[in-house]
Structure 1
Amino acid sequence: MTIMAHDLSSGACRTLTALLLGCTALIASPALAQDTGTGEAPYRLSPILINADAQADDDANSIVAQELWTGGKVATSILDTPASVSVVTEKEIRDRDADTLEEVLSYSAGIHTDYYGTDDRNDYVLVRGFQATTYRDGLTLGSMRSVREEPYAFERTEVIRGGNSTLFGTSDPGGTINFVTKQPRFERFGEVYGSLGSPRNAEYGFDAGDVLDAEGTLAYRLTGKVQDGERDYDHSRNDSRFLMGGLSWQPGAATTLSVIADYLKRENTPNSGGYPLDREYDRSDFFGEPDFNYQNVERASITGLLEHDFENGLNLRANLRYSDLKSDFGYVYLLDSLRTGNSVERAYFGGENTAEELIGNVILQYDRSFERFDSSTLAGLEFRNASTSGSPFYFGPIFDDNGNLVGRAIDPIDIADPVYAGAPTNLTPYELRDNEYSTRSLFVQQNLSFDDRIIATLGLRHDRLDIEETLNGVRSGDDFAETSVRGALTWKINSEISTYVSYVESVAPPTIGVEPERGEQVELGAKYQPAGTNALISASIYDLRKNNVTVAVVQPGGNITRELVGEQRVRGFDLEGKAELAGNVDVIASYSYMESEVLRSGPIRGVDVEGNEFSDVPNHMASLWVNYTLPGTQTRGDMTFGLGARYVGSYYFAISNDTGRADPSITLDAAFNYQVQDNTNLAVNVSNVLDEQHVVGRGTADYYNPGREVAVTLRHSF
């Protein structure tokens, strides 16, 4: 298989080599080396962690992660992982004051976020041009996609780029996002914080834990956050409540059992209604309906995590989670293609949804060393039972065969002098849908390391999926049996540099009567972890394809349908580096190039899209964040100055490539942190410092990027 087009096969490789060597020079400053605590170098076998005595990552105090954790399916040195990986630690999230998943990932390579701007219903994240599939502690959040996760609940956020169905089951090919939940620690710790900001926002949080018994076998952790805020536009709301508690029992060094329960409630506005297409409007303008702009999300879950080491090379991990979700939303939005002067027609959209899910797995890992090679075998089974229901409603203007308006559910609005009409009254769902999902999976992965230089990885997974659906009283069903494979070869050039080549497959979650979307990716990559410096640089080139693709298409009346595209491809490369230099400088840098193309498709709304680029996929993206710490003196504490820049190149708003392109944009962010006294810090964070405004998404109306946001936070730890 050809990895890259001719114009990338040689030039991109030369470019990557130059960039990698340039970054090597950048991070050559001395810093403290990582100590394993054993006096010996850690013994790694990708993707399984062999030496349990190696020092774990310190996510609360470092931006550089050395290991990857995905619910026991991968626990490894990132240097030896044969995939392109990003890890956003708790420290990085705190330094940048990232309150949403979109903000958490905005400085990571190959990831385009927030491309629907003031449409605030979901977190919008594309990895290598495709929708990201989300997980929590290695277990899918497939039925919980309408929930904006709370970053304060997690120790870190991990991204593995490319198809990963062999490890995770049904997923999209661009990449997987895994949230690692904060767990109890067998020590006393805690923090409280309060924050005020603009647009109007107030939030308060705490995170604390301790050992509960004299023997030191039982520990707890309690985490909570309350937010009361608004968004950029008038008549908005952004409120949430989050509470999480956990208990961990460790009767001996070989066994740990943790139980974590959490509750999330969000009460906010889902949409600004969009902005007219003719010119740039003020972000505060609101063309929806103040009395009909709501989104309520309530979710509760409980998770059990078990680990046991049999001390003969055999380890057991078992994970189980139950979740219950209820959500509803409704809003009015502009249909600017239906316009007479300043009078613009509108439509309303909304619905109620529920999801109940039980998911779990059992994983056995067996490690053994031989004279010339080491072996690590991982085998497991996974199950998922989920029930969902949905009752969406939609109503827009109705026209007869001659194009005459014959009905509407809500009055048009005068965009020059808005007068609101009140909430619509006809909220009859256009469908009633109930789904039952059942998945049973078996997976195995074998790694062989030869002379600690060459690592061969082979993975195989088989998923059995059963779907039953009741649509408007009519019951139907379907079943699927899908197998995915993964193969990789890693060459450890020395203790600092590793290279790899990999082939991975993905199977997207299917629907009744439609073949599952399948993806495949070939990737070539290199990673550099310079000795004596806490830093990690990675570079990768890839060819990613997806077949049996369907896309969401906004029809002229404003309703949304799914239409077949066929086959899509993305070629590109990612470069990312994170480094802590000389003890007082942190650097986070990334650059990505993506070349997307529709290879095979029928017409979309009568438009031939073969050869077109994807929607919302820029060719170029880059970011840079730098922290500089000025050490304290006898009269003042440490001061840290942070400055960041995010560049997003131009991209098409629609797969038809005929509704316009986003302008290239550069967004500046800044941060300042002052150590008021021991364990007390005052931080000021400003995102979009220059209040730069541009269109990030376009359908029946325009949607803008978020405006300037300011947050002042006082945090005390103990």
Structure 2
Amino acid sequence: MSRTLSPFGSRRRSSLRSVLLCCSALLPGLAVAQDRYQLDDVILEASDEGAGAPDSQTIVATEITAGGKMSGDILDIPASVSVVTSEEISARGADTIEEVLNYTSGATTDGYGADDRFDYFSIRGFEAYTYRDGLLLGANFGGIREEPFAFERVEVFKGANSATFGVSDPGGSVNYVSKKPRAERFGSAYTSVSSFGSTEVGVDFGDVLNKEGSLSYRITGLVREGELEYPYSENDEVFVQGGLTWRPTDATELTVLVDHLDRDSVPGSGGFPIGYDFDRSSTFFGEPDYNYRGTERTTVSVIGSHDFSNGLKLSGTLRFSDSADDFGYAYVAGTSGTTVNRAFFASDGTNEGVIGDVNLRYETFIGGVESTTLVGIEASQSEASDMRYYGAAPSIDLTNPVYTGAPTSVPMYASLRTETEGQAIYLQQELNWSDKFIASVGLRHDWIDTTEWDRLAGTVESGSVSATTGRLGLTYKITPDLSVYGSYAQSVVPAGTGVEPEEGEQYELGVKWRPQGTNALFAASVYDLSKTNITRTNPVTLLSEPIGEVRVRGLDLEAKAEFGSYDLTASYSFLDAEIVENGTSGNVGNTPGLVPTHIASIWASRTWDNVGAGDLTVGLGARYNGGYYYDDSNTAGETGSFFVVDAGVSYDLTEKTTLSANVTNLFDEKHVAYGGFYADFYSPGREVQLKLSHKW
């Protein structure tokens, strides 16, 4: 990818946006052409109860994929798992990953309020690492904001998962499952407009390409242009993903996916002076000419498998990614009387990497016991650059802000180039006694070598991590619809060169129930997890060092159900988090920052059939957070408990055309999501989105 990113200005582009707009305009013609050369239809039938239906038709998933590393029936997995299907994402109108996870037990979102540079969320009190089709993307904090429209589902694995995925924190991991071509003809298109002034069009269609049905394609994309809630913000995006799947036999499948993400999405707020209550939509203390956030990424993925038909199956995934991002803000840095102090901050980064995984699965019977063995290897290599800038900005008046324009330059304080190489081997073994007792064990060893060049200091540092992690689980199926389980799992995260890796472990007990004759899943779990060697920067030496341990004991409850005309998603989580060790900082016994004690949510909807021309669906949701401290010292301030209501309504104008409206934060609830230092960042306000969609 060739482009130049400047830390002192935003970028504009229109070629891909024009292409997608043209594609959406040509959709009616494409549909006609498909009818003219129609192939035999492929009919997908779900059971009467809806169990096992595609993710685009149900909110209740029965199985997980995890990129093939922990696949199978959710009832059989000795771990707490939540799946957000594309049907649930659509029903709630979720267009960010944080909104996708809003109704998932154990997950906390919007911890940084209006600062939406990244997908900010945590699971069971810890930062969550993310994966796509089972391959590592990285930590959500500091990473690229993913586009939910690209995914068929989002899988949330709670607890330590390094034996399965590799690098991860003990709270949990999130795996995004890409939309892939289907062996059928299908399509959908939509256009939408939001109350913040953003307009959007999107398409998702595919077909088989030959008479035999062995070759199929899929095109998914969207174009968005407009603004966000805050003044001088942007909400522009072009996303396009194309996939081609070849199935020469029933035993072999190969898919190639290519996607490109091009986003100018400026969060729009550099914060507000502490202790005030400003209007979010009309007050701005940043600098309009120095307020940008750009992302450009191209990804190529190859996913393949071959079943040797004797219990042996070979699978593999390979992904190449090339990305660049830039960012610039004038942050609020405290107040003096009616004067608002500010500071310029900017970053400019690139990342190019390749990661691949190959595994062999063997299923057989040993003495009447069903045995499944999975062995695999993983390798990765990446090169990243990171340049950062910081400097004082002109102050402005609190009551009458007068902007001064973008700076001619901002001092650079960091310029790094980092190369990372990783290799891993893993083994997973499952033994199933008559579908009654299911024992599983996993072992993984990772080797990670990192070399970092400090281009300002002219120094080079290298570090290596060699770590073994494991997991052990036992499931007992009381009935075919009710299972209980217990598990132990470990996690590991490299903390940087010259520092011991951060390590975690978790003990968990749980129960899952899928009542026979219904399309519903209920789950409950209790856990005790801890993370040691937590790394912080020493304020004296300015070097990273391990300083302590955090422990979280908790409870997760979750329900997803479809009962006739009613759909229900509900969750509750209790987190008892404590800093057990913290060096000399004096935080022992405190609650870690940004970790609430109670979080709960419920979304319920009802459909009325044949109301006038079509069906009418009304949904209402509520999210509760018991509040949290802003930092580990518990002295910088805290947000009180808050309650947010969401709503949605859709009406089928015809059998295939739907008009819908979704509202997030219906009553415009407002609180300081993060603050207490130099500035406050408010929670997201009310947004209304109207959408017209058509399927064929």
Instruction: Give yes or no for TM over 0.5.
Output: yes
Structure 2 distance, partners of 1:631, 1:662, is: 43
Flag structure 2 segments of 5+ consecutive residues without an equivalent. 1-46
Matched with 2:88 is: 92
Matched with 1:169 is: 166
* Percent of aligned pairs with the same amino acid: 47
CA displacement 1:437-475 (0-9 Å, x = unmatched): 000100001111123211111110000111111112312
Matched with 1:639 is: 616
Matches within 5 A, 1:8-19: none
Q: Does 2:563 match 1:566?
A: no
Give 1:309's aligned amino acid: D
Matches within 5 A, 1:84-483: 84-142=80-138, 145-284=142-281, 285-336=283-334, 339-395=335-391, 409-472=392-455, 473-483=458-468
SS in 2 for 1:142: strand
Matched with 1:613 is: 591
CA displacement 1:176-212 (0-9 Å, x = unmatched): 1000000000100000100011111111000000000
Q: Structure 1's 87 and 551: CA in aligned 2 closer, same or farther, altered over 3 A?
A: farther
CA displacement 1:77-101 (0-9 Å, x = unmatched): 0011111111000000000010000
- Following superposition, the deviation at residue 57 of structure 1 comes to 4.3
8 A Cα contact 2:659 2:691, kept in partner: yes
What is the aligned counterpart of 1:700 among 671, 678, 681? 678
CA displacement 1:476-509 (0-9 Å, x = unmatched): 2111210001101111111111011100000013
- Following superposition, the deviation at residue 32 of structure 1 comes to 3.4
Structure 1 distance, partners of 2:584, 2:237, is: 43
- Following superposition, the deviation at residue 394 of structure 1 comes to 1.4
RMSD: 1.6
8 A Cα contact 2:321 2:352, kept in partner: yes
Matched with 1:548 is: 533
Give 1:313's aligned amino acid: G
Give 1:312's aligned amino acid: N
- Following superposition, the deviation at residue 230 of structure 1 comes to 1.1
- Following superposition, the deviation at residue 159 of structure 1 comes to 0.3
Structure 2 distance, partners of 1:515, 1:621, is: 33
- Following superposition, the deviation at residue 425 of structure 1 comes to 2.7
- Following superposition, the deviation at residue 371 of structure 1 comes to 4.6
Structure 2 distance, partners of 1:89, 1:320, is: 24
Q: Does 2:86 match 1:32?
A: no
8 A Cα contact 2:188 2:203, kept in partner: yes
Structure 2 distance, partners of 1:64, 1:166, is: 27
Matched with 2:576 is: 595
8 A Cα contact 1:270 1:331, kept in partner: no
- Following superposition, the deviation at residue 146 of structure 1 comes to 2.5
SS in 1 for 2:294: strand
- Following superposition, the deviation at residue 170 of structure 1 comes to 1.2
Give 1:109's aligned amino acid: S
Structure 2 distance, partners of 1:34, 1:451, is: 26
Give 1:628's aligned amino acid: R
Structure 2 distance, partners of 1:104, 1:587, is: 15
Structure 1 distance, partners of 2:397, 2:460, is: 45
Structure 2 distance, partners of 1:660, 1:603, is: 21
SS in 2 for 1:93: helix
Give 1:624's aligned amino acid: I
Structure 1 distance, partners of 2:345, 2:545, is: 20
CA displacement 1:148-192 (0-9 Å, x = unmatched): 100000000000001100011111111110000000001000001
8 A Cα contact 2:324 2:349, kept in partner: yes
Structure 2 distance, partners of 1:361, 1:370, is: 28
What is the aligned counterpart of 1:650 among 609, 627, 638? 627
Matched with 1:82 is: 78
Matched with 1:585 is: 566
Structure 2 distance, partners of 1:526, 1:656, is: 36
8 A Cα contact 1:32 1:534, kept in partner: no
SS in 2 for 1:656: coil
Q: Structure 1's 436 and 143: CA in aligned 2 closer, same or farther, altered over 3 A?
A: farther
Structure 1 distance, partners of 2:342, 2:519, is: 54
Structure 2 distance, partners of 1:97, 1:80, is: 31
- Following superposition, the deviation at residue 108 of structure 1 comes to 0.3
What is the aligned counterpart of 2:470 among 485, 492, 510? 485
- Following superposition, the deviation at residue 268 of structure 1 comes to 2.2
Q: Output the TM-score relative to the length of structure 2.
A: 0.91
Give 2:349's aligned amino acid: N
Structure 1 distance, partners of 2:50, 2:202, is: 32
SS in 1 for 2:68: coil
8 A Cα contact 1:350 1:394, kept in partner: yes
8 A Cα contact 1:351 1:429, kept in partner: no
8 A Cα contact 2:500 2:546, kept in partner: no
- Following superposition, the deviation at residue 432 of structure 1 comes to 1.3
Structure 2 distance, partners of 1:411, 1:430, is: 19
- Following superposition, the deviation at residue 551 of structure 1 comes to 4.3
- Following superposition, the deviation at residue 344 of structure 1 comes to 2.0
Q: Does 2:56 match 1:60?
A: yes
CA displacement 1:377-414 (0-9 Å, x = unmatched): 0000000101101011112xxxxxxxxxxxxx311121
8 A Cα contact 2:499 2:544, kept in partner: no
What is the aligned counterpart of 1:681 among 630, 635, 658? 658
Structure 2 distance, partners of 1:563, 1:525, is: 36
Give 2:562's aligned amino acid: E
Matched with 2:39 is: none
SS in 2 for 1:571: strand
SS in 2 for 1:493: strand
SS in 2 for 1:311: coil
8 A Cα contact 2:105 2:556, kept in partner: yes
Matched with 1:670 is: 647
Structure 2 distance, partners of 1:335, 1:446, is: 54
Flag structure 1 segments of 5+ consecutive residues without an equivalent. 1-30, 36-55, 396-408
SS in 2 for 1:631: strand
SS in 2 for 1:257: strand
- Following superposition, the deviation at residue 654 of structure 1 comes to 0.8
8 A Cα contact 1:121 1:271, kept in partner: no
SS in 1 for 2:479: coil
- Following superposition, the deviation at residue 142 of structure 1 comes to 2.1
What is the aligned counterpart of 1:630 among 601, 608, 612? 608
Structure 2 distance, partners of 1:231, 1:209, is: 32
- Following superposition, the deviation at residue 288 of structure 1 comes to 0.6
